[in-house]
Amino acid sequence: MGKEESPQITRRTTRSSSSTTVETTKASDSHPPTINDLVFGEDLISLNDLLSSFPGRRIQILELVRLLGTSNSPMLPLFMYGGASSGKTSIILQMFRHLNCPFVYSSCRSCYSPRILFESVLNQLLLHRKNAANGYSSAKRCERPSDFVNFLREALSNVINNSKGNPRKLETKKLVGQADGNMIYLIFDNLELVREWDKSSTILPFLFNLYDFLKMPEVGLIFVSNTSPDTYYSNMGYMDPIPVHFPDYTEDDLCQIFLRNQANRKLYSSFLDVVLRPFCRITRRVDELSTAFSPLFEKYGEPLSDLGVVPNEETKRRLFSHLQPHIAPSLNEVFKVSSQSSPEAQSNKETKKKSSRRKLGVCEEIDESDFHMSTSAKYLLISAFLASRNPATLDASLFDSMGGFDSRKRKRKPSQKSLEHKETAEQELLMKGPGTFPLERLLAIFQCLTSVAEGSIDEEEQGNEGLGVQGGDGGLMSDVLLQLSSLCNANFIIKGGSCPLEGSTRYRSTLCEDMALKVARSLKFPLSKYLYRR
Amino acid sequence: MGRVNPAEEALNLLRTRLCNPSFVFKPLSDSPDSNYSKLKFLISSSVTEACNNSILLLGPRGSGKIAVLELVLKDLLLEYPDMISVITLSGLLHCDDNSAFKEIARQLCAEHQLLFSKMASFDDNSQFMIAMLRECGLAHKTIIFVLDEFDLFAQGKQRVLYSLLDAMQSVTSQAVVIGVSCRLDADQLLEKRVRSRFSHRKLLFLPPSKEDLQRLLEHILSLPVDSTLPHDYAVEFNSKLQNVLADEKFKQIINTYMNSDATVNHLLKLLFRVVSSMDLGSGFLSLENFKTALSNNQRQPKLECIKDCSILELYILVCMKRLEIKEQNSYNFNSVMKEYKSIRDSFQTSDYYARNVCIRAFEHLLQRELICFTDNRGHNQSVEFRPAKLLILSHELHQGLKSYRSCPAILLKLMDREV
């Protein structure tokens, strides 16, 4: 029982791979898998342990326990839904640890296409491990739902017959890792991602109807999703599974959750009294709050010499006043995960801030900008920004052949109509977003800008004539297309629609004005003179 | 071996019954004019008289068409052993002819212990099917084709249907084609050449009447008196159950529940919840179980979503509502931010957060499906510029705000005023 056979793979092997397979099979085959591998496999936990490890989820856990029933009773499909990081996946997995039943878990996030999903479920049921011996291939190749139903039925009946064949002694002490009951459960996690798949109109009804297709009472289906069941309705109907709702945590629950695993609970609870309420006005998700709280808690504990002390009222007030000025800026950074800076950089930052408080203003942040780009990439960014921002008809006047700029139009006193124009133009900018441009225009602007830059460098050096400009230009141009593709991958430039006449693709810059000004300042490039303001 | 709690045993028994459609639909099939008897008569007559036949079973999803069909087939297989083979196809799985014929061939091979080759081509499979039909016809064996989700087979060119029905007519075959569909107009979807070969027999599966419903409830929930359960416990359970079933409030609960969907499967879901919430201490079902099950099943998903929102997200929703009231046809995140800023300027609220925080709150709302983008797959714009719209009605938003714990009063005022 449980003998695994590696399928015969007929494909060409290189000499080296065929010579090394012999040793690896021996090493990995020491432990043939059985159905007990489908069980959670760690120490059993009681219901009270389960309830205490998930504060605030008592009602949902009890409801789930009742709906799942004992391991011998069949059940109708369940649908667990709730917001992100509300504990659905962890609760259902720990629940199976408590029930000690075999289950097959697959997430539609890691199995991102129907084929991978089907093969993952089948691999787990057929107790097939992907290793070097079978070339990391699945047990069965399965792409279509019809094949999946057939294979699944076979695999499930095998598993269930094998489990029935083992007579289970009813002992008072349950062995770790031994499955009991004869039900087997299939869990499909992250179901909301299936709606984005190409074949979602057939796959979703198929998954929901899977219980009817299989017609096996020993199989339980559990779906876990971030969105409620009414977002799955489509033309093709199916029998609704039984919904179990996981509401977001209340503030008391969040207190309890954050207090777990803390070394000094009194200190942390006084910290939570200060920060929890303002942060809960923005978000109540556990993952976002925990990343926001950890640096704040460090700052909170700074004045204390000993972090194990229990704070009294006076200490609490002192700590609160120390933390107070940091709360408001931290609220505005709540979703940012700051990069870990080295201690030397941090001390540098502090000395710098003290000295140059008013001199440089915004400029000092540039030196500590979180990303580094080459000069040509920065010029490309600025060119893309200008191309998106300015209408094409202005290029000729803004960039003349020398790369300089003409004197602007005579400034007239703004009349009422032009003010209104300005407002509507701003509104349009707000609504429509950045414009699209073809590749040629981007390269032309880039060439103009870099020739200016080269020209200014040359003026300083006073060495070259016009030819020098050409040579340097060639150097910057050669890898500009490479730079462009890496900027596209980083989403600084995105593909817009295609030109209706020619069918060539157009691009759009996603840079906001502040960022563009920052980049231009780092290059000492007078961007504001090139910006078109109506 | 310890004594198993009788309540647990009863619970397991009830759950097994609820998950077993054959058990559930048996009492509905007892009368002589039920769909069960009509279907059985039709199929058995075509088996005994060695003729072809076709019929459509129509009815809303969950009214037990497949369950009744399975009951009929089970009984017929007992009555006429070795004279019937059943091939089941589903429109969801096998809607294109390649996979349909492959599946037919596979099932025929499994039935008659022949070797099935996965490499067989479409022509091979169809030839095989026609040959099998002929052989079975000569041997006086009937093949029953069950086509589930029949309306999906009627999409496209209907090649499967046509070849099947054509084979039945041209070859000396004994075959019965049973189509099962939720669309009551499934036969109108057929092409002319297919429809001419299809008999127009239809069996409608209607929702059960009130008396049938009562009988069904008793049949499912009553414990058997002479089984492994203790006798006294089963008798007391049944009498308590009768009390509950006769209660006026219980009838109201059932009527409210079945108003939305009157099929038997819908009722089974309610009963499953009721049975799972049975109090294992006392071991009896009470009216409370039914009440909690009903309230658990009546969900208002948008209100639940609003309760989960944070205050900043509520601000964004109210801003979008105000933009809609001002009759701006399309607005995007930037316009929402402008409105948010104007609210802050005029009302001096303390909840003013930076743009990046608001954009993440906007994305949370997108994930919760309270708002969505109006352009489909317009991924060539960033989040701030894509036009968005609300997916929640104004009265739902209003109700949600009112029932929100610690909702800022300013939001309710903003919703009420037309300014």
Residue-wise pLDDT tens digits, A480-523: 888 888 888 888 888 876 666 777 778 888 888 888 888 888 88
Average pLDDT over residues B373-380: 72
Query: For B101, which residue in chain A has the nearest alpha carbon?
Result: A146
Give the model's pLDDT for residue A458. 54
pLDDT digits (tens, 9 = 90+) for B155-168: 888 888 998 888 88
Q: Given a cut of 80, is residue B177 above it in pLDDT? A: yes
pLDDT above 90: percentage of residues in chain A: 16
Confidence of residue A24 (pLDDT cuts 50, 70, 90): very low
Average pLDDT in chain B: 87
CA of A438, closest CA in chain B: separation in Å? 14
Q: CB distance from A248 to chain B under 8 Å?
A: yes
H/E stretch holding B256 reads helix B248-260
- Pick the most confident of A340-344, B59-63, B279-283: B59-63
Chain segment B63-114, per-residue pLDDT in tens? 889 999 999 999 999 998 888 999 999 988 888 888 899 999 999 998 888 8
Chain B neighbors of A285, CB-CB under 8 A: 364
Nearest by CB to A75, which of B19, B312, B354? B19
What is the rounded average pLDDT for all residues in chain A? 76
- Residue numbers in B near A431 (CB within 8 A): 330-332, 334-335, 385
**What confidence tens digit (pLDDT) does each residue in B285-330 have?**
888 889 988 888 888 888 988 998 999 999 999 999 998 888 777 8
Give ∠ CA A406-A410-A416 in degrees, rounded to 5: 135
pLDDT value at residue A446: 86
Q: What is the mean pLDDT of residues A134-157?
A: 88
Stretch among A178-187, B39-48, B200-209, B260-269 having the lowest mean pLDDT: A178-187
Among B178, B161, B166, B156, CA closest to B100: B161
| Nearest-CA distance B344 → chain A (Å) | 16
Coil, strand or helix: which one is A105? strand
At B2 the pLDDT is: 40
CB-based contact B75:B200 (threshold 8 Å)? no
What is the pLDDT confidence band of residue A13, given thresholds at 50, 70 and 90? low
Q: How many residues does chain A have?
A: 534
- The runs of H, that is alpha helices, within A356-438 are 364-367, 375-389, 395-398, 416-432
The whole-number pLDDT of residue A366 equals 42
CB A335 to CB B357 under 8 A? Answer: yes
Q: Write out chain B residues lying below 8 Å of A66, CB-based.
A: 276-277
Contact B92 A72 (CB under 8 A): no
pLDDT band for A468, please (50, 70, 90 cuts): very low
pLDDT value for A170: 41
Per-residue pLDDT at A348: 52
pLDDT at A341: 52
Calpha distance B161→B151 (Å, rounded):
11
If you measure CA to CA, which chain B residue comes closest to A208? B92
Q: For A206-221, what is the mean pLDDT?
A: 91
Residue A178 scores a pLDDT above 70: no
Query: At residue B350, does pLDDT exceed 60?
Result: yes
A116 lies within 8 A of chain B by CB: no
Residue B108 makes CB contacts below 8 A (sequence gap 6+) with B85, B87, B114, B128, B129, B132
Of B15, B103, B382, the CB nearest to A73: B15
Query: Are A281 and B20 in contact (CB < 8 Å)?
Result: no
Structure tokens at A493: 């430039």
**Closest Cα in chain B to A196:** B377
Residue A525 has pLDDT above 60, yes or no: yes
Tally Cβ neighbours within 10 Å of residue A215. Answer: 12
pLDDT band at A223 (very low <50, low <70, confident <90, very high): very high
- Give the sheet arrangement for strand B175-181, strand by strand: B84-90, B142-148, B175-181, B53-58, B202-204
Lowest mean pLDDT: which of A176-180, B45-49, B256-260?
Answer: A176-180
Query: Which residues on A lie below 8 Å from B1 (Cβ)?
Result: 170
Interface subset of A 224-243, CB within 8 angstroms of B: 226-231, 236-240, 242-243
Judged by CB atoms closer than 8 Å, whether chains meet at B356 and A237 is answered as no
How does strand B84-90 pair with strand B371-373? unpaired
Q: Are A250 and A107 in contact (CB under 8 A)?
A: no
pLDDT for position A173 = 43
Q: Which chain A residue lies closest to B331 (C-alpha atoms)?
A: A431
**pLDDT at res. A230:** 87
Average pLDDT over residues A163-174: 52
Q: Do B99 and A144 touch (CB under 8 A)?
A: yes
Contact B6, B283 (CB under 8 A): yes
| CA R_g for chain A | 32
Q: What is the mean pLDDT of residues A279-299?
A: 87
pLDDT single digits (tens) A392-434: 777 777 776 544 444 454 455 556 777 787 777 777 777 777 8
Nearest CA in chain B to A70: B12
* Nearest-CB residue to A283 (from B1, B305, B310): B310
More confident residue, A524 or A309: A524
- According to the model, what pLDDT value does residue A442 have? 87
What is residue A29's predicted lDDT score, i.e. its pLDDT? 46
Rounded to a whole number, what is the distance in Å from the CA of A135 to chain B's nearest CA? 23
Mean pLDDT of B405-412: 84
State the average pLDDT over residues B236-255.
91
Over range A440-451, report the average pLDDT. 85
Assigned token pair, B186: 């499934």
> CB of A66 within 8 Å of any CB in chain B?
yes
**Is-contact A146 B94, C-beta < 8 A?**
yes
Quote the percentage of chain B above a pLDDT of 70.
Answer: 98
Contact (CB<8Å) B311/A281: yes
| Residue A246 to residue A226: CA distance in whole angstroms | 10
Among the partner-chain residues B93, B332, B351, the one whose CB lies closest to the CB of A431 is B332
d(CA B303, CA A230): 13
Tokens of B127: 């030839």
- With a cut of 50, say whether residue A174 has pLDDT above it: no
Give the distance from residue A173's alpha carbon to the nearest chain B alpha carbon, in angstroms. Answer: 12
pLDDT grade for B173, boundaries at 50, 70 and 90: confident
pLDDT of residue A245: 92
User: What ranges make up the beta strands (E) of A358-492?
Assistant: 436-438
pLDDT exceeds 70 at position A192:
yes
| B190 or A463, higher pLDDT | B190
Rg (alpha carbons) of chain B, rounded to whole number: 30
Pairwise CA distance, residues B350 & B331, whole Å: 25
pLDDT digits 0-9 by tens, A138-148: 888 888 899 99
> A with B: how many residue pairs have Cβ under 8 Å apart?
148
A380 versus A468: the higher-pLDDT residue is: A380
- pLDDT (mean) for B13-39: 86
B99, B277, B299: residue with CB nearest A245: B299
Instruction: Indicate whether A168 pLDDT > 60.
Output: no
- Residue in the block written with tokens 């992250």: A190
Helix (H, G, I), strand (E, B) or coil at B31: coil
> What integer pLDDT is reported at residue A350 of this predicted model?
47
pLDDT at A410: 46
Instruction: Name the residue of chain B whose CA is nearest to A507's CA.
Output: B380
The arithmetic mean of pLDDT across residues A316-320, rounded, is 82
Task: Read off the pLDDT of each residue in A379-396 and give the average, rounded to a whole number.
Answer: 84
Q: How far is A276 from chain B (nearest CA, A)?
A: 13
List the end-to-end C-alpha distance of chain B, in Å, as a whole number: 74
**Residue scoring higher pLDDT (A77 or A431):** A77
Does the pLDDT at position A21 exceed 60?
no
For residues A514 and A524, give the distance between their C-alpha atoms in angstroms, rounded to a whole number. 15
For the entire predicted model, the pTM comes to 0.84
